[in-house]
Structure 1
Amino acid sequence: MATNASDRSIDNQSVTITVDNVGGIDHADVSVSPGVTVFRGRNATNRTSFLSAVASSLGGSSGSLKSDAEEGSVELQVGEQRHTREFQRTSNSVRVGGEPYVDETSLIDTFVSLLEDNPARQAVERGDDLREIIMRPVDTDEIERRIESLRAETEQLEDQIERVRERKDRLPVLKDRSRSLEEEIASLDETIESLREEIAAYEADQSTAAEADALVEELEQTRGEHNRVENEIEVVEAEIDSLEDELADLEDGRDTEYTDEDLESVKDDLAAARERRRQLEETINSLITIVEFNRDLLAGSLELPGIEPADAGPVTEIAPDEQQDLICWTCGSQVSRGDVDERLDALGEVIDEKRTERAEIESHVADLEDRRAEIEEELAERERVDRERRTVDQHLSEKRDRLSTLRARESELAERIVDLESEVAETQQLRDDDLLEMYEQVSDHQYERGQLEQRLGDVREEIDEIESLPGVEDLTAEREGLREQIAQERARIDQLERRAVETFNRQMDDLLDVLAYENLARIWIERRTADTSPDADTTFALHVVREGEDGTSYEETVDNLSESERELIGLVFALAGYLSHEVYEEVPFLLLDSLEAIDAERIASLIDHFAEHVEVLFVALLPEDAQAVDDRHQRIDADVLH
């Protein structure tokens, strides 16, 4: 079962690999200690099959069910931890399951399983885009989506900063208005107080004056309260209209064409498309291996023990190549070279078809990822609108209840004012002097004062609201924080690219010194950026500098390198990826194969160099190459891989 990263270290624990019916292996059971293990043997002795099986148990896509078996398995035992890869033949395919060491197939295939078909090695051989190989384990699309999201937040924050700045710019004007209103209210208070002193000076009948004074005072208070209630009604009605408009806008913005079922459907389609892409990649890799192996066999670059051209003799020697008879290396039957060539050409066409289908699937995966992001964004927006609509509904209900209460109170006060005015009018004595007029003046001034108080309250409320807004400095700091996050997201890719280039160049310099290629002065990767913008694409340019016999240096092309030199560059490039992504933290294994192009002494030095960076290193070597390897390293003969 899979373990956490903290449990990945081998820590001198024994490693046991059991293989059943995988590749060309019926059964193999191998136990080793941490360090270097050399699997020595001639070609076609299942060394590559064994390493492919180990790679599959680590989580890679290599490893295949034995042709004559219905099921097979690989078990990797590290101490008490057990990791498996299982193969089961179905009616038209082979189902792959189990619980491997990690679930990151691309990481294993690219930077751990350094066999002949390793993408990093092949990229150097073919002159492919090296940056794409290094960045393969990184979800750059997801990083770009996060950057776009942070940019949107930054733009919203900038709009908020502008609005807050505009509101705060109004504060001086509002505070001046507040002081002016306070002065007007103070002036009215002085006038009202003066009128009341004049009223008190009148010599009227005490009981009548007291009664008149009480009636007029109550009338003033009632009118003042009535005016206040009317003003509040106007304010509440305006608030209700605003809330109703806001609710209508929210209802309009709630519509979306997507549902949760749509999201789940897209996720299912995306998972299916990714699975189909993985199956196509496995099929293409398998077919390419078959074609290349048979092409090499026909070209004579591979020898299988006991397999010779059929009917060798004078007639065979002068016959055209396509008419020569061969012995099939799989079943032993006699076939013509032309028939084999035609069958290999047909397999080549199948490979092209699968590649075309893979390209279509990759395009479909990209479309589905974009659609998933779009649906998630719309569903999140709808949820936000629903929450806001519920809040507005609650406020609207509260305001309507308040309006109903105010209207009832306004009606009650209006009736009371009519009654009081009638009672005051019946006081004959108050009609015959100026007392009633003065009371009316007091009432008018009280009303005016109420209006001023209302306006002052509105101004103070706006001042409080503006002062409660977040400071422009705080919002600016938050905006800068978002910009810093964007820079950090961009820097993740940039730092990984730089680390990969620096690691490759450092490792290559070290190995060139150790391996002593006479006319290779330097091999290095240059990281190039199209322009100076933060979003500019980068490329990796591989440089090879040779030194002539006269001591002058010149740049060489990869095509002109020897096979040994190309293999060395590919292996070091893969090691740079292993170290740059810190794969050793997750997978402390490395697998090496197909090193025949490099001479034995350099192979030994290369193995010692790789062993410095990994706990467990498996290497497949020919017997004569294995003799040069340091005796302290473990050796296992390939005859145990039967």
Structure 2
Amino acid sequence: MEIEQVADHDAILSAENIGGIEETSVSFSPGVTVLVGRNATNRTSFLQAVMAALGSENVAVKGDADEAAVELSIGDETYTRRFRRRGDGITSSGEPYLDDPDPADLFAFLLESNEARRAVAVNADLRAVIMRPVDVDDIHAEIDSLVERRDALESELDELDALKQKLPPLEEKRRDLRSRIEDKKAELRAKQEELAAADATVDESRDEASELDETLEELGSKRSALDDARYELETEQESLEAITRDQRELERELADLPDVPDGRIDEIDSEIRQLRDEKQRVTSRVNELQGVIGFNEEMLDDAESAAFDGLGDADADDVTGKLLAADDVTCWTCGSRVDREQIEATLDQLRDRSQTAVGRAKELEEEIAELEAEKREYEQSRRERDRLEERLSAIEREQGEIEARIEDLRDRRETLTDEIEAIQAEVEELENDDASAVLDLHKAVNQLEYELGKLENDFERVDGNVTEIEDRLADQDEIEREREAVSDEIESLRTKIERIEEDAVEQFNAHMDNVLALLDYDNLDRIWIERVQRDVREGRRTVTKTVFELHVIRTSASGAAYEDTVDHLSESEREVTGLVFALAGYLAHEVYEAVPFVVLDSLEAIDSERIATLVEYLDDYAGYLLVALLPEDAAALSDEYERITEI
């Protein structure tokens, strides 16, 4: 089903044992849907259920359940997921909406713990967050393959250019040979007419002339074969010189390549696997901690709400006692009364552990990136070395074949030379045997026929070379078009990362300007990202990398503009900046093409009026926008928005 068609249908979500939800089934329409309620009313759990049906693994199974399930129906399509506890983790099955949920997890599922949303607050590497959905390794591999193809095409074009330089002299030689052939034919016809006249009057010389004619014909044949052998020998020697030059050039290129330590790539693969395994464990730990923290926060808020709700039924004398009792909470795990501060202290410890785990995940990601860069460098060197060694092996084989042909041609030349000397001696003997004028004419005719044959052979050889070059040059335009297409594709791939970076920065800066203008924060003029180049260490090398720098511009009481730091942003300003950053990734990677949903919660740091403005702004970029809000914040939103109060 197309995205546009999906967003035209109501959706029905059914969920069991997701977060705090035991069982529910809720219908909602395209556009903005507001989940209204106090804390501990399963609004975040509902959003997690939607995310789970769409494909996210960021799902918390209800604490007292071993299995959970979600089902999302949109029009005639239904998407299902099931989750089961297995040892320390949770396994999933089913057919979700998305095959690859990672971009949506990063830029569309904007819960409080969302990494893109939190990137500004925790001073994360903004560029790394934006570029995570891009498979840089695949791009580099494709570029390497295309560069090899372009090099082959350019070598072919260089060869054609060289052939094009040879063509004019060959055409001139062909014209000269054609003229000489015509002259030689005329000379031969004249000599043949003279011989015919002589033969009519001198019968007695015919036997001798016939024998000499046969001998001269054989001599001409041998001379022609010798010329062919000499020409082929010269051609093979030129080929050997050319291929030897190529061999020396390839050997120089091979010597200049950096060495790849034996087994280093396997070591890097092993290290990357270990780091990824550790990162997966750390990420799972973060998700578990976030789930535990969220659950306990909701339970704590629920307990607080229950305590204050009971004040309305108490006598005046009992109010103080009930308020004091509110400092104690019944533990929802063991049932005993526990001091509230003790629970909050435990939650603070869990938050510290979560933050430490998030930091460790970031460190692991950076280590993996460094190792992958080192691996790419080694693999590129190895591919180039393999290519050069394969080409050298082919050259060595070709050299051997050429040298064998040269040796055969030399032997053939020597044999033909000896045979020609013997035939020439036989001709001289015949000429010394009472030779007559007729014999001289026969000799002259045979010599002219030999010379004509040699000219015709030379013409055929030159004409064949001209035709071959013209046939090759006929493909030049097509080869040039292919080279240009390959070059354009290489450039497109090389700039793809840059284009995504530029687009993300452009999206963020434009939307940040729009949102700040709408939200009207005091003395906050602008928040913008600048793409800059920095020299950084990557493995054993120092490389130039792109970095996203976040700038905050404020106006002083005197009206002067000055640059502030991200640390000085208010909580509301920081939350808005994080949401706009996530929106920039959502648009730059065209996540809306894959999934028409955006989910959003934990906006309490932003005041109600600004939440209403922000929701209205985000509504333009999602088919379904699900927002969890407190009742007082929801009241500021348009009455046209659908509201869900019971989950």
The bucket for the TM-score relative to the shorter chain is: 0.7 to 0.9
* 1:611 has 2:619 as partner: yes
* 1:55 has 2:51 as partner: yes
Aligned-partner Cα distance in 1 for 2:628–2:159: 69
Aligned-partner Cα distance in 2 for 1:631–1:527: 41
SS in 1 for 2:6: coil
**Residue pair 1:501, 1:526 contacting (<8 A) in 2 also:** yes
CA distance 1:628–1:203, change in 2 (3 Å): closer
* 1:81 has 2:38 as partner: no
Deviation at residue 31 of structure 1 after TM alignment: 0.8
Match for residue 587 of structure 2 among 569, 573, 579: 579
CA distance 1:79–1:288, change in 2 (3 Å): same
Q: Which moved more, 1:470-479 or 1:508-517?
A: 470-479
| Partner residue in 2 for 1:108 | 104
Aligned-partner Cα distance in 2 for 1:426–1:343: 117
**Residue pair 2:199, 2:206 contacting (<8 A) in 1 also:** no
Aligned-partner Cα distance in 2 for 1:426–1:550: 123
| Partner residue in 2 for 1:289 | 290
| Partner residue in 1 for 2:173 | 177
Aligned-partner Cα distance in 1 for 2:498–2:59: 34
Match for residue 558 of structure 1 among 566, 573, 576: 566
Describe the superposition over 1:31-56 as per-residue Cα deviations: whole angstroms up to 9, x where unpaired: 11112111122222221122122112
SS in 2 for 1:630: coil
Aligned-partner Cα distance in 1 for 2:274–2:473: 48
Q: How does 1:93-104 map to 2 (within 5 A)?
A: 93-104=89-100
**Residue pair 2:272, 2:368 contacting (<8 A) in 1 also:** no
SS in 2 for 1:9: helix
| Partner residue in 2 for 1:547 | 555
* 1:454 has 2:484 as partner: no
Deviation at residue 608 of structure 1 after TM alignment: 1.5
* 1:28 has 2:24 as partner: yes
* 1:163 has 2:164 as partner: no
**Residue pair 1:270, 1:368 contacting (<8 A) in 2 also:** no
**Which stretches in structure 1 are left out of the alignment for 5+ residues?**
254-264, 318-323
Deviation at residue 23 of structure 1 after TM alignment: 1.7
Deviation at residue 427 of structure 1 after TM alignment: 12
* 1:512 has 2:516 as partner: yes
CA distance 1:78–1:578, change in 2 (3 Å): same
**Residue pair 2:15, 2:21 contacting (<8 A) in 1 also:** yes
Aligned-partner Cα distance in 2 for 1:559–1:215: 112
**Residue pair 2:199, 2:438 contacting (<8 A) in 1 also:** no
Aligned-partner Cα distance in 2 for 1:530–1:371: 23
Deviation at residue 563 of structure 1 after TM alignment: 0.4
CA distance 1:167–1:501, change in 2 (3 Å): same
Aligned-partner Cα distance in 2 for 1:36–1:203: 115
Aligned-partner Cα distance in 1 for 2:623–2:367: 40
Percentage of matched positions with identical amino acids: 36
CA distance 1:351–1:107, change in 2 (3 Å): closer
**Residue pair 2:209, 2:439 contacting (<8 A) in 1 also:** no
Aligned-partner Cα distance in 1 for 2:387–2:338: 65
Deviation at residue 566 of structure 1 after TM alignment: 0.6
TM-score norm. by structure 1 comes to 0.74
Describe the superposition over 1:82-115 as per-residue Cα deviations: whole angstroms up to 9, x where unpaired: 1122211223421122221112222111111011
For these two proteins, the number of residue pairs brought into alignment is 594
CA distance 1:379–1:327, change in 2 (3 Å): farther
Aligned-partner Cα distance in 1 for 2:389–2:74: 50
Letter in 1 for 2:516: L
Aligned-partner Cα distance in 1 for 2:353–2:497: 42
CA distance 1:347–1:468, change in 2 (3 Å): closer
Letter in 2 for 1:592: L
CA distance 1:354–1:141, change in 2 (3 Å): closer
**Residue pair 1:276, 1:361 contacting (<8 A) in 2 also:** no
| Partner residue in 1 for 2:63 | 67
Deviation at residue 81 of structure 1 after TM alignment: 0.8
**Residue pair 2:107, 2:582 contacting (<8 A) in 1 also:** yes
Describe the superposition over 1:529-548 as per-residue Cα deviations: whole angstroms up to 9, x where unpaired: 569xxx97433332222233
**Residue pair 1:512, 1:522 contacting (<8 A) in 2 also:** yes
Q: Which moved more, 1:585-594 or 1:137-146?
A: 137-146
Aligned-partner Cα distance in 2 for 1:56–1:474: 51
Describe the superposition over 1:217-241 as per-residue Cα deviations: whole angstroms up to 9, x where unpaired: 5555555455556666777899999
| Partner residue in 1 for 2:467 | 464
Q: CA RMSD in A?
A: 5.2
TM-score norm. by structure 2 comes to 0.74
Describe the superposition over 1:475-525 as per-residue Cα deviations: whole angstroms up to 9, x where unpaired: 555544433333333443333333323332332233223322232222333
Describe the superposition over 1:165-206 as per-residue Cα deviations: whole angstroms up to 9, x where unpaired: 233222333333334444544454444344333323336667
Match for residue 332 of structure 1 among 312, 318, 335: 335
* 1:42 has 2:42 as partner: no
* 1:125 has 2:117 as partner: no
**Residue pair 2:3, 2:596 contacting (<8 A) in 1 also:** no
**Residue pair 1:19, 1:28 contacting (<8 A) in 2 also:** yes
Q: Which moved more, 1:328-337 or 1:25-34?
A: 328-337
CA distance 1:86–1:8, change in 2 (3 Å): farther
CA distance 1:140–1:426, change in 2 (3 Å): closer
Aligned-partner Cα distance in 2 for 1:561–1:154: 51
| Partner residue in 2 for 1:260 | none
CA distance 1:584–1:510, change in 2 (3 Å): same
* 1:525 has 2:525 as partner: no
Letter in 1 for 2:529: I
Letter in 1 for 2:525: A
Aligned-partner Cα distance in 1 for 2:352–2:601: 27
Aligned-partner Cα distance in 2 for 1:585–1:88: 31
CA distance 1:432–1:164, change in 2 (3 Å): closer
Q: How does 1:170-569 map to 2 (within 5 A)?
A: 170-202=166-198, 220-221=216-217, 223-225=219-221, 227-228=223-224, 276=277, 279-280=280-281, 282-289=283-290, 328-333=331-336, 337=342, 340=346, 431=434, 433-470=436-473, 478-529=482-533, 537-569=545-577
Aligned-partner Cα distance in 1 for 2:570–2:431: 125
Aligned-partner Cα distance in 2 for 1:352–1:123: 12
**Residue pair 1:273, 1:365 contacting (<8 A) in 2 also:** no
| Partner residue in 1 for 2:316 | none
Aligned-partner Cα distance in 2 for 1:550–1:104: 52
Deviation at residue 329 of structure 1 after TM alignment: 4.7
Deviation at residue 143 of structure 1 after TM alignment: 2.7
CA distance 1:99–1:243, change in 2 (3 Å): farther
Deviation at residue 116 of structure 1 after TM alignment: 0.6
CA distance 1:147–1:464, change in 2 (3 Å): same
Letter in 1 for 2:506: E
Deviation at residue 126 of structure 1 after TM alignment: 1.7
| Partner residue in 1 for 2:605 | 597
Letter in 1 for 2:287: S
Letter in 2 for 1:17: L
**Residue pair 2:286, 2:357 contacting (<8 A) in 1 also:** no
Aligned-partner Cα distance in 1 for 2:121–2:37: 26
**Residue pair 2:527, 2:551 contacting (<8 A) in 1 also:** yes
**Residue pair 2:272, 2:371 contacting (<8 A) in 1 also:** no
**Which stretches in structure 2 are left out of the alignment for 5+ residues?**
252-265, 309-319, 536-542
Q: Which moved more, 1:138-147 or 1:628-637?
A: 138-147
Aligned-partner Cα distance in 2 for 1:605–1:16: 27
